[in-house]
Structure 1
Amino acid sequence: MIGFGPHLMVDGYEANYETLASVEAITEFLDNLPKEIGMTKIMPPYVFKYDGGDKPEDWGVSGFVIIAESHISIHTFPEKQYFSIDIFSCKEFDMDKAVEIIKEYFGTDKLEIRTTNRGTEFPRDIGIAASITGAQRSRLV
């Protein structure tokens, strides 16, 4: 793998209101997902309800869980039947499996899915990175 790692971004529409509105459901989702996709949870999920501030219809539940490989976060907007999830990892993972779990858990097939690779110049192996950098620098002289 080149770079630091993959980042999966999922926006969900027409999702289950009760799931989106529940601190307990979001906590359960963040508690179980890491193991289901081969990640290592290193702390319990932190989940809270937001009242929407100046826009009461924007209330929802937000949370994250730190994994050894990076993090998973979620923001829900129950009144809009919408959620956004980010899964960022320093190791490859089965993105298709993660998407299927998300679809099933939130009761929707209406998803926008984006992926990217983060840190494309991240030195995964410091020895290899040093030799490449050294070779590049010697060509500049």
Structure 2
Amino acid sequence: MSKIKNDSAADSLMMRDGKSFAGLHIIVDLYDAEYLDNIERVEAAMRECIEKCGAHLLHIYLHHFTPNDGVTGVAVLSESHISVHTWPERKFAAFDIFMCGNSEPELAIEILKGHFNAKKVVSTIKQRGEHLA
């Protein structure tokens, strides 16, 4: 388990197009993807997403079921989380990205596609906490 502490990370609502809400929740399904049994590659992809999206890592925990099977895990962020579960035997991975504040979680979609050479990506983006204002 890796731990990075960043006390300067802001915990705030997200603002887009004049609207205030808790954050963006992005579900990313990767199809016909590669390297899904490679725990080091999964961690590197998650770390790049965190950096490029402008988020701050608190903890990351990944579990490799066996040397040739899937990976599951979560990166806990100041801005929320990124979770993953892979099925290498089906060339499929499911990522869940939720970020708030000044982060740009949409950038993670192309990063994940690139890291795993996914031939097809299906993503859904939802604004969470739209009724907070």
Please indicate the TM-score interval, normalised by the length of the shorter structure: 0.7 to 0.9
Q: Are the equivalent residues in 1 in contact too, given 2:29–2:95 (CA < 8 A)?
A: yes
Q: Normalising to structure 2: TM-score of the pair? A: 0.76
Aligned-pair identity (%): 31
1:94 is displaced (CA, Å) by 5.1
Higher share in strand: 2
Task: Specify the alignment match of 2:124 in structure 1.
Answer: 114
Task: Specify the alignment match of 1:40 in structure 2.
Answer: 56
CA distance in 2, matches of 1:109, 1:93: 23
Task: Specify the alignment match of 1:22 in structure 2.
Answer: 38
Task: Specify the alignment match of 1:56 in structure 2.
Answer: none
Higher share in helix: 1
SS of residue paired to 1:42: strand
The alignment's C-alpha RMSD in Å is 1.6
1:93 is displaced (CA, Å) by 1.0
Aligned residues: 112
Evaluate the alpha carbon distance shift between residue 94 and residue 22 of structure 1 in structure 2; reply closer, same or farther with a 3 A threshold: closer
- Which one of 80, 89, 94 corresponds to residue 70 of structure 1? 80
What are the ranges of 5 or more consecutive residues in structure 1 without an aligned counterpart?
Answer: 52-58, 124-141
- Which one of 61, 64, 70 corresponds to residue 49 of structure 1? 64
Larger Rg: 1
- Deviating above 6 A after TM superposition, structure 1's stretches of 4 or more consecutive aligned residues are none
Task: Specify the alignment match of 1:100 in structure 2.
Answer: 110
